[in-house]
């Protein structure tokens, strides 16, 4: 029997990512990418949580660290976060000045977007994209 649901989600609120070292990861996201920590707390089961705000976005990134579960191992090419940047050239210069290695790119897509990849702590990939004016998708 097929049941058709009329329920529809209305908004993406946050994405949770488990990390090995909360302080190192927060430092990466705040110092390298310019995100803001909105809240930090400990859950009832003992997980350390941090909610990060991305400029010009309502969605949050929730970082969680639960040391009893051991270190995080992120499989290659499993998941990544993509952020838009105003100027890829300026972004590359800033990353180079901070000693952050570019792991792939720069690459130009058929739509005219340009992008690079860098690695966050634990091996999460970060894609940084410069879109041409008026383009909504890579």
The catalytic site residues sit at 127
Match 């058929």 to its residue by tokens.
110
Going 69 to 74 to 79 to 84, the CA torsion angle's sign is positive
State the pairing for strand pair 14-18/125-130: unpaired
Please, which residues bridge with residue 62 across strands? 16, 51
Burial of 10 (C-beta count, 10 Å sphere; 0-12/13-18/19+): exposed
Whether 121 contacts 24, CB under 8 Å: yes
């Amino acid at each position: 029997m097929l049941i058709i649901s009329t329920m529809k989600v209305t908004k993406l609120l946050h994405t949770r990512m488990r990390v090995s070292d909360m302080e190192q990861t927060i430092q990466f996201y705040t110092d390298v990418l310019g995100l803001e920590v909105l809240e930090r707390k400990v859950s009832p089961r003992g997980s350390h949580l941090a909610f990060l705000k991305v400029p010009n976005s309502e969605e949050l990134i929730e970082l969680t660290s639960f040391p009893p579960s051991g270190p995080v191992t992120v499989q290659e090419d499993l998941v990544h976060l993509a952020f838009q940047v105003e100027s890829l050239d300026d972004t590359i210069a800033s990353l180079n000045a901070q000693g952050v290695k570019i792991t792939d790119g720069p690459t130009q897509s058929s739509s005219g977007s340009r992008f690079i990849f860098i690695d966050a702590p634990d091996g999460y990939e970060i894609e940084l994209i410069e879109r041409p004016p008026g383009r909504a998708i890579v």
